[in-house]
Structure 1
Amino acid sequence: MDSATLKAAQAPIKAAYKADPSSALVTLKSKGTLSSTSIACKLSTGSAAREAHARVAGLHPKAGGPEASISGELCSGDMLLEALVACAGVTLKAVATVLEIQIKDGTVTAEGDLDFRGTMGVDREAPVGFKNIRLGFEIEVEGEVEESKVEALGKLTERYCVVLQTIARKPEISVALRGYGQTEDGIEKGYVWGQKG
């Protein structure tokens, strides 16, 4: 897709977001099932993932991308929520094992609210990225479990989930862009940009 095609695809979307800001809001969702036999979490395939041909990231339709059934591409926001569900599910299972809580069955869900006005540059006050993320667990345990163990299960899962803590604590991030191209004279020219946040 070239610049003109992308701009043409995004122009009516941006106009719609300016006219009706609520049309830019979307909630992405991910779900996983806890294993009863191992420390694992099986991700449920959402509609976008079912329609995609492979794990290739592309533009969300609300940012001018085609539907996953057409492009075979997934929104990276969906992938982020899947990573959160997977990590939280495995962490919960590991903590439950240490606490000797037998989980018979369970699900992990993550939902994230996006305002595409920020992503599309329509409104500088609108956030770029998830505005809210909700992580939830529904579990069925073997036998009776003390309240203190349930509290410990929740607190320790939150504390030791790598993806959750990475999102919550905002790590120091550096971004680098390197590239090269050729001038009209055939001379190779390098490009470098970097920022530390």
Structure 2
Amino acid sequence: MMKNAVYKAQAGLRAQYVTTPEAAMVTDEARTGGMDPSDPFHSQVEPKYGSGLNVPCGVHRAVGGPYDAPCPGDLLCAALAACQDSSVRMVANLMGIELIALAVQVKATVDVRGALGIDMNVPVGFQSITCNIHLKAKEGTPPEMLEKLRVAAQRCCVVGQTLQHPAPVTTVFSAHPLETVAAESAFV
């Protein structure tokens, strides 16, 4: 275990954010593009725009797609699982808890009748999300420390907190000449 690795990595950042709070504002982004826009069932997304990592995206069979690639719901579950995992790892490191094993599983359930416009009383969106964190700490770790880890990791999970307390989402539709859209949507 790299004891205190998180503390060492964050010490300068914490001091900077106290004196310069605006430096703590970060923006994450992702972008789609680079595939045939006439294909209604496939796309790709580049998380961390500019990274060159392209993830194929598909449409779930529950709404008519072939479901041959992760759908946006899978990516949402992946984002929560990744954030919970990293939060548990970092907080455990800060607390001096040695983890032997860690796995995070996220399941989200949606009634797609809302998205398909079949029943206007059914909301569009997931009705439930369950995150199961399975961990094993070094033998002798006090149960009260594991409870503190659970509470602190949930509090620090940015994706989990965003899902619990949604941020406003602004969507802007723009019409551009086809050449502009094609040039802008190609992954570099």
Q: Which TM-score band applies after superposition, normalised by the shorter structure?
A: 0.5 to 0.7
Matching residue within 88, 91, 107 for 2:103: 107
What TM-score results when the alignment is normalised by the length of structure 2? 0.64
- Aligned mate of 2:87, from 74, 81, 91: 91
Task: Give the 3-state SS of the residue equivalent to 1:117 in structure 2.
Answer: coil
1:132 and 2:128 aligned: yes
- Measured in 1, the distance between the counterparts of 2:60 and 2:129 equals 18
SS of residue paired to 1:111:
strand
Which runs of 5 or more structure 1 residues have no equivalent in the other structure? 1-35, 40-52, 183-197
% identical aligned pairs: 27
> For residues 123-161 of structure 1, what are the alpha-carbon distances to aligned partners after superposition, in whole Å with 9 as ceiling and x for unaligned?
111121110000111111112122321111111111000
How many residues were matched structurally? Answer: 131
Deviations, residues 149-187 of structure 1 (Å, cap 9, x unaligned): 1111111111000110111101122111111359xxxxx
Where does residue 155 of structure 1 map in the other structure?
A: 151
1:108 offset after TM fit, Å?
0.6
Q: How does 1:4-19 map to 2 (within 5 A)?
A: none
The 3-state SS of whatever aligns with 2:114 is: helix
Q: List alignment gaps of at least 5 residues for structure 2.
A: 6-43, 45-53, 179-188
Residue 37 of structure 1: CA displacement? 7.1
1:67 to partner: Cα distance: 3.3
Q: Which residue of 1 aligns with 2:55?
A: 55
TM-score for both structures, normalised by structure 1: 0.61
- In the alignment, the residues of structure 2 paired with residue 146 and residue 172 of structure 1 have an alpha-carbon distance, to the nearest angstrom, of 40
2:58/2:67 contact within 8 Å kept: no
Moved over 6 A (4+): 36-39
